[in-house]
Amino acid sequence: MDLINFVQSSILGGIAYDAIKKVLGKPFEKLKNYLDNNETDKFQGALEILIESDEEIKNKLLELQQKYGDKNIVNQYHTGNGDNVAGNKNVISINGSNSGVINFGNNNEFKE
């Protein structure tokens, strides 16, 4: 993920929102307003100018990207019957007196 996309997704609700806000300082509100008004081109242009003109901000954003860039958080609330799965689903069936189903990770079935 490039730096501009990382900052954009963080401002739109990523894990690094507060850190991005602190690093950007005053320009944060203007950049956020561009995104709130669906003015992506203005956002990208303004952020590019900021990054090119301020090496300290660029380096701090790069540090945040390295720390949080590959993190995704999913909040799910489930009521009723059925599965509530974030991502893919694995099913492991174990036969015997204590048989059960364990759901995790990818879309594979393992049966013993």
> pLDDT for 56-81, tens place per residue?
999 999 999 988 876 554 555 666 67
How many angstroms separate the CA atoms of 12 and 31, rounded?
Answer: 11
Enumerate the β-bridge partners of residue 100: 94
pLDDT given at position 87? 57
The residue type at 102: I
**What would the mean pLDDT of 41-63 be, rounded to a whole number?**
95
**What would the mean pLDDT of 89-111 be, rounded to a whole number?**
49
Residue 32 has, within 13 A of its CA and on its CB side, a CA count of 16
The residue type at 21: K
pTM of the model: 0.61
7 contact partners, CB below 8 Å, separation of at least 6: 20, 24, 31, 47, 61
User: Which carries the bigger pLDDT value, residue 31 or residue 101?
Assistant: 31
- Per-residue pLDDT at 107 exceeds 50: no
pLDDT given at position 111? 44
Burial class (CB in 10 A: 0-12, 13-18, 19+), 7: buried
Report residue 37 as tokens: 């008004």
User: Which carries the bigger pLDDT value, residue 47 or residue 78?
Assistant: 47
